[in-house]
Amino acid sequence: SVLAHLDGSRPDHAKLTPQPITIIDENIWNDGSVVLEDIKGQESAKRALTIAAAGRHNILLVGPPGTGKTMLARAFQGLLPPLSREDMLAVTAINSLCGHEGGITSTPPFRTPHHTASHTALVGGGANPKPGEVTLAHKGVLFMDEFPEFDRRSLDALRQPLEDRVVSISRIQGTALFPADFILVAAMNPYRGAEDGTVNLARAMRETYKGKISGPILDRIDLWIEVPHIDYETLANLKRSEGETSRARKAISIARQTQAARFRERGIATNAEMTSRDIDHTITLSPEVSDLLKLSSTKLNLSPRSYHRLIKVARTIADLDESTELETKHVLEALQYRIQN
């Protein structure tokens, strides 16, 4: 029918009927099933979610069962700015390739694979390679609840998409390269079975999941968020904080605009995407901040990746603070979200 439309000499020449213009709902934030106002307490965790949404940082939620980790992850979806037109088309193309119905949307994807999902379902594969969950979460969120319960092979396979934002699948016929630029939101209990009352969640996690999660994977997570139990009396006395989500969205939007302007000539859009070269070219460290970073690196034995991750998170905190300069208070707050050894 397209050829018949273009070639007037064909006997079956006929003009195609014009179709209505596709209307795309842009700049509409996603109001999901959970918003920040629904979560009482956990103020530190909600602050960390705002930082993660502003800079597109990967986060790990650690806490006993029933403390609100899943609710926090669901609320995080509503903090992500609407997709740009370019990203909308990319997400729609991926969904079309996978046979998923639905029109163009500005809502970032939110994928929640079960921990029993196969390696192929998570990463992609098959005789004729098809995208997995990491690609379906492109430009959105990959929420992995019960993080250590996923197959070790699948967890290790996350290293490439977390580092390169693509996933490569090799088969005899050739290699397929799929986009996989997502924010990882991982959640886990620090121990299996009944809660033992410990408050040192890092030690409990280390003793429970020895060798389950590799160091390189944890090294690619920007924010460690503890989600402790809050006693009933405290919860009962807490009031609903109206307007919390809208205030967070406004701060996140301003921070994203600041980052877009900063990286206009560098081919990236957010702080989490910065390489060491980007950090050197775009961030000026004062003597006080440099001294604090050096002291932190020495005392905490930070790896080069951890050092750069600390600067990225601190820069996002400064953007939320609408500060052009990176200050010591921003670095000190970023240190609170460091992955616990």
What's the pLDDT tens digit per position in 121-146? 999 887 778 889 999 999 999 999 99
| pLDDT-above-70 percentage for the chain | 91
Kindly tell me if the per-residue pLDDT of 220 is higher than 80: yes
Question: What pLDDT does residue 201 have?
Answer: 58
Q: What's phi and psi for 282, nearest 5 deg?
A: -115, -15
**pLDDT, average across residues 172-198:** 78
DSSP annotation of 149 = G
Here the tokens at position 56 are: 């597109």
- Which of 140, 132, 122, 124 has the alpha carbon at shortest distance from 53? 140
The band of 8, judged by pLDDT with boundaries at 50, 70 and 90, is confident
Here the tokens at position 58 are: 């990967």
**pLDDT, average across residues 24-39:** 79
Higher-scoring residue by pLDDT: 236, 85: 85
89-107 pLDDT per residue, tens: 999 999 888 877 777 888 8
Domains of the chain: 36-237 (3.40.50.300), 265-336 (1.10.8)
> Which residues have C-beta within 8 Å of that of residue 214, sequence separation ≥ 6?
152, 155, 156
**pLDDT, average across residues 189-193:** 68
Rounded to an integer, what distance in angstroms lies between the CA atom of residue 182 and that of residue 225? 19
Average pLDDT in the chain: 86
Indicate the pairing of strand 141-144 with strand 124-125: unpaired
Burial of 22 (0-12, 13-18, 19+ CB in 10 A): exposed
Rounded to an integer, what distance in angstroms lies between the CA atom of residue 48 and that of residue 54? 10
Here the tokens at position 95 are: 């969904």
Do 164 and 127 contact (CB within 8 A), yes or no? no
> Which residues have C-beta within 8 Å of that of residue 41, sequence separation ≥ 6?
68, 230, 234, 235, 238
How far from the centroid of its chain's Cα atoms is residue 48's Cα? 12
Question: What pLDDT does residue 203 have?
Answer: 60
Kindly tell me if the per-residue pLDDT of 333 is higher than 70: yes
Q: What's phi and psi for 91, nearest 5 deg?
A: -65, -40
Question: What pLDDT does residue 213 have?
Answer: 75
Kindly tell me if the per-residue pLDDT of 40 is higher than 90: no
Rounded to an integer, what distance in angstroms lies between the CA atom of residue 56 and that of residue 222? 10
- Which of 209, 173, 170 has the alpha carbon at shortest distance from 189? 209
225-277 pLDDT per residue, tens: 989 888 887 777 778 778 899 999 999 999 999 999 999 999 999 999 999 99
